A and B are shown apart, each in its own frame.
Chain A
């Protein structure tokens, strides 16, 4: 909490009062200066300032009764002010002197006091006035906050905590401060969480994130997902769908020269695939051998190297070309970059790129005389050979100084089945291959782009659902028609399609359509599931994991899957074609009702699809750091996984805060050794009491061990034999152990301890406090030992481990007796304890 600054104007004097709100508690009085005392003939003390003789500055006193003849002596001695002359008109002159007189200053108007003379060599004022101010900093009990939404305790009620741990934000109502760092057991990943992320489910969902890849998901058993790995029938993606899959995910044909190469998932993302596709092709594919095809001109000479060519010609050479040649390779979208030198043309001609063996121009540029001209041609079709048209010369020469093709497009010729069943998706016809690289970059969608005209894959072996269940997960664009199948057949109309407003399952006798009244747009995770029965309904569909409820269920629900197989992706026969993005398809010929959400959750996680719920798994989340909210940086950490307390248990947020588990080895430790040796101490904690028959420490600084002079510190102890909570204190070197206790039950409790040692009182749930006036002021000389720890005592090692959840710990190294009601009210309103 920030200090408060008050400016006060009183009697023409202005002064500023700084109130350290962190340290004030209750009613305090303090002295403040408030101007200067007035100077009168009876004044015996004055404040003297001598600008040219600063060693003379100070307070000077004289004795009563004061007269014009009095001598004033500087406090501390050595300097005096005394009268040095007198006359009836001007009164007294006054001198100031130490061992020698520094000056004798003229009096005026009958002056009879040093401050009444006319001198400008000194300033004399009355002494500063001191005023006692009473400040009531007792925090107010606030009962207007909504239950469970108490205002931030430290910033709005009582600040100045030495350490503060909670899962709520103790400083910011919006909950934007980090409160905890959590390790999830599934993959040991760690993340910091804001207070609001604890309460709004973000933390829980993160812990429950389905990190298990779809092809690695195991069947549910009584112990969780510990059964056999669930085999998929086929699985296609640009990522690996199993941690064990290391093969290629796609074969890609590049546009420049039709070279095909396979790529792993890593190579898709690390730039290898893109580098392959966009690798510049330098030089000729076939060195040219031009001839004149039309007109009266003729080629008089020509020569070429692997990267250059020169042709000379004469006459009305209207068309010089080599039609059957593949001078270079390229496709629509590719760029051809030339450098040419031209001379002798009568007028500008045209340089064309044409598709080999055709007259189709797929790129052209005007050419005229000049050296080293750069020309860039953007191909609109397959290349090609060069043709020079409408050129006329009595003796001209064109030199190709360089030629380079920049490929821009990559096509998928094979999408590998990662299931191990070799249902690979292949397309040998270039024109029918979906695109993975366009305009020189991976598709912005991150998937494969189907053109909706003729792009599709055939499967290298058929997939049958006959008399079985089936389940298809597809992350793709929703289609305009339910016939634009994701999974289809080359010979009949059966298949599975995902329309924006409808899912079609048609491996049954008749198509089963499930209408989605709300519709979808853009990339969507579609799921179609046939449970393998003939019950009505046996086909369900999900959009981003949400069940589609068809207002008028299809009459064909209940039909079994028949003999027709799936043998292509992206098309119904050769009639209807999928259009847009497809990123992932996973196909099962088994009922995945029990595993659907686990699979969908992983896909949702992998592609950051909002709205797909975290899979309700059995994942645990552990606290690596419980952040100190006091501003003192005393974060409580545990670097050893086996000793970390738990915050998410089997997928659910722990009730009661952070669970210190079985009391064997779980604790958090700070580097703070400054709150052990303290004359005053106040503790407020919300915890579930340990009531088993043993003694544990909820938190501690140092240790307390009776009948030993080797230990010292303080411990909030839970005695399960007597069902009490208490503060134990000890001073190292003194075997005396003192304690103050109050009773607890197994229910979550608010424990409050306030003390100015040796006086202390402790209470539970805002009740009557037990008091002691003989508590030892804790002391421990070892800075290592006296660190603040949560969940244990500490002798030479952690011990007396706590066994229950703790919600909140606030530590003040001050006596918060006056503020106790307000603090307790704030805490109880938050946790509704009593």
Chain B
């Protein structure tokens, strides 16, 4: 289950929010684990965030998708 974001920054912001809720060390001690999951680029230029274990609100629940097309392995 994924949430799709137009930018990496927006996806990171949501990942940060979840990381804070989970009391990850990055947010409590200033170092260590920061995110539960990290966004990955999609084939269509968006960013997909795996939110299977996220605590989603209603609007987010309705916005989730089951799959996305990952960015194919390309030139480095």
Chain A residues with CB under 8 Å of chain B are 181, 183, 187-190, 624-625, 638-644, 703, 708, 710-711, 732, 782, 785, 795-797, 799
Is A188 touching B73 in the complex (CB atoms < 8 A)? no
Using A639-B26, A643-B38, A782-B76 as known contacts, list a sample of 12 further A-B pairs with CB atoms less than 8 Å apart, ordered by residue number in A: A183-B25, A638-B33, A641-B19, A641-B37, A642-B38, A642-B53, A703-B76, A708-B75, A795-B73, A796-B73, A796-B74, A797-B71
- Distance of A183 Cα from B37 Cα, bound (Å): 15
Across the interface, name the chain B residue whose C-beta is closest to A794: B76
- From the candidates A187, A640, A796, name the one contacting B37 in the complex (CB within 8 A): A640
Is B32 touching A181 in the complex (CB atoms < 8 A)? yes
Is A641 touching B24 in the complex (CB atoms < 8 A)? yes
Question: Please, which residues of chain B bring their CB within 8 A of the CB of A625?
Answer: 32
Is B76 touching A711 in the complex (CB atoms < 8 A)? yes
Question: Please, which residues of chain B bring their CB within 8 A of the CB of A640?
Answer: 33-38
Closest 3 A/B residue pairs (Cβ): A190-B25, A639-B34, A640-B38
Mark each residue of chain B from 42 to 76: 1 if its CB lies under 8 Å from any CB of chain A, else 0.
00000000100100000000000000000101111
- Distance of A625 Cα from B40 Cα, bound (Å): 22
Across the interface, name the chain A residue whose C-beta is closest to B18: A641
With contact pairs A183-B25, A188-B23, A643-B38 given, residues A795 and B76 touching in the complex (Cβ less than 8 Å): yes
- Distance of A730 Cα from B33 Cα, bound (Å): 33
Q: Could you tell me the distance in whole angstroms from the C-beta of B43 to the nearest C-beta in chain A?
A: 13
Is B73 touching A624 in the complex (CB atoms < 8 A)? no
Q: Is B22 an interface residue (CB 8 A)?
A: yes
- From the candidates A187, A641, A797, name the one contacting B35 in the complex (CB within 8 A): A641
Question: Please, which residues of chain B bring their CB within 8 A of the CB of A642?
Answer: 35-38, 50, 53
- From the candidates B32, B40, B76, name the one contacting A183 in the complex (CB within 8 A): B32
Q: Could you tell me the distance in whole angstroms from the C-beta of A780 to the nearest C-beta in chain B?
A: 8
With contact pairs A187-B23, A188-B23, A641-B24 given, residues A624 and B76 touching in the complex (Cβ less than 8 Å): no
- Distance of A785 Cα from B73 Cα, bound (Å): 14
Is B25 touching A188 in the complex (CB atoms < 8 A)? yes
- Distance of A641 Cα from B37 Cα, bound (Å): 7
Question: Please, which residues of chain A bring their CB within 8 A of the CB of B40?
Answer: 797
Is B32 touching A785 in the complex (CB atoms < 8 A)? no
| Listed residue (B25, B50, B74) with the most chain A CB atoms within 10 angstroms of its CB | B25
- How many chain-B residues does the 8 Å CB contact rule pick out? 23
Across the interface, name the chain B residue whose C-beta is closest to A637: B32
Question: Please, which residues of chain A bring their CB within 8 A of the CB of B53?
Answer: 642
Is A644 touching B38 in the complex (CB atoms < 8 A)? no
Q: Is B29 an interface residue (CB 8 A)?
A: yes
- From the candidates A188, A711, A795, A797, name the one contacting B33 in the complex (CB within 8 A): A188
- From the candidates B33, B41, B50, name the one contacting A639 in the complex (CB within 8 A): B33
Question: Please, which residues of chain B bring their CB within 8 A of the CB of A796?
Answer: 71, 73-76
- Distance of A538 Cα from B33 Cα, bound (Å): 47
- Distance of A815 Cα from B53 Cα, bound (Å): 47
Question: Please, which residues of chain A bring their CB within 8 A of the CB of B36?
Answer: 640-642
- Distance of A797 Cα from B25 Cα, bound (Å): 25
Question: Please, which residues of chain B bring their CB within 8 A of the CB of A639?
Answer: 26, 32-35, 38
Pull 12 A–B residue pairs with CB atoms less than 8 Å apart, ordered by A. Answer: A181-B32, A183-B25, A624-B33, A640-B36, A640-B37, A640-B38, A641-B24, A642-B35, A642-B37, A642-B50, A644-B33, A732-B76
- Distance of A732 Cα from B76 Cα, bound (Å): 10
Question: Please, which residues of chain A bring their CB within 8 A of the CB of B41?
Answer: 797
Is B73 touching A799 in the complex (CB atoms < 8 A)? yes
- Distance of A708 Cα from B24 Cα, bound (Å): 40
| Listed residue (B19, B22, B32, B38) with the most chain A CB atoms within 10 angstroms of its CB | B32
Q: Could you tell me the distance in whole angstroms from the C-beta of A431 to the nearest C-beta in chain B?
A: 45
Is B32 touching A190 in the complex (CB atoms < 8 A)? yes
- Distance of A7 Cα from B40 Cα, bound (Å): 59
Q: Could you tell me the distance in whole angstroms from the C-beta of B13 to the nearest C-beta in chain A?
A: 15
- Distance of A769 Cα from B49 Cα, bound (Å): 45
Question: Please, which residues of chain A bring their CB within 8 A of the CB of B23?
Answer: 187-189
- Distance of A414 Cα from B65 Cα, bound (Å): 54
- Distance of A640 Cα from B33 Cα, bound (Å): 6
Q: Could you tell me the distance in whole angstroms from the C-beta of A74 to the nearest C-beta in chain B?
A: 56
Question: Please, which residues of chain B bring their CB within 8 A of the CB of A644?
Answer: 33
Question: Please, which residues of chain B bring their CB within 8 A of the CB of A732?
Answer: 76
Question: Please, which residues of chain A bring their CB within 8 A of the CB of B29?
Answer: 190
- Distance of A187 Cα from B22 Cα, bound (Å): 8
Is A641 touching B73 in the complex (CB atoms < 8 A)? no
Across the interface, name the chain A residue whose C-beta is closest to B40: A797
Is B76 touching A188 in the complex (CB atoms < 8 A)? no
Question: Please, which residues of chain B bring their CB within 8 A of the CB of A785?
Answer: 76
Q: Could you tell me the distance in whole angstroms from the C-beta of A193 to the nearest C-beta in chain B?
A: 13
Q: Could you tell me the distance in whole angstroms from the C-beta of B17 to the nearest C-beta in chain A?
A: 14
Question: Please, which residues of chain A bring their CB within 8 A of the CB of B34?
Answer: 639-640
- Distance of A229 Cα from B32 Cα, bound (Å): 32
Q: Could you tell me the distance in whole angstroms from the C-beta of B10 to the nearest C-beta in chain A?
A: 17
- Distance of A640 Cα from B26 Cα, bound (Å): 10
- From the candidates B24, B37, B75, name the one contacting A188 in the complex (CB within 8 A): B24
Q: Could you tell me the distance in whole angstroms from the C-beta of A639 to the nearest C-beta in chain B?
A: 4
Question: Please, which residues of chain B bring their CB within 8 A of the CB of A782?
Answer: 76
- From the candidates B33, B38, B50, B76, name the one contacting A710 in the complex (CB within 8 A): B76
Q: Could you tell me the distance in whole angstroms from the C-beta of A644 to the nearest C-beta in chain B?
A: 7
- Distance of A640 Cα from B39 Cα, bound (Å): 10
Across the interface, name the chain B residue whose C-beta is closest to A798: B40
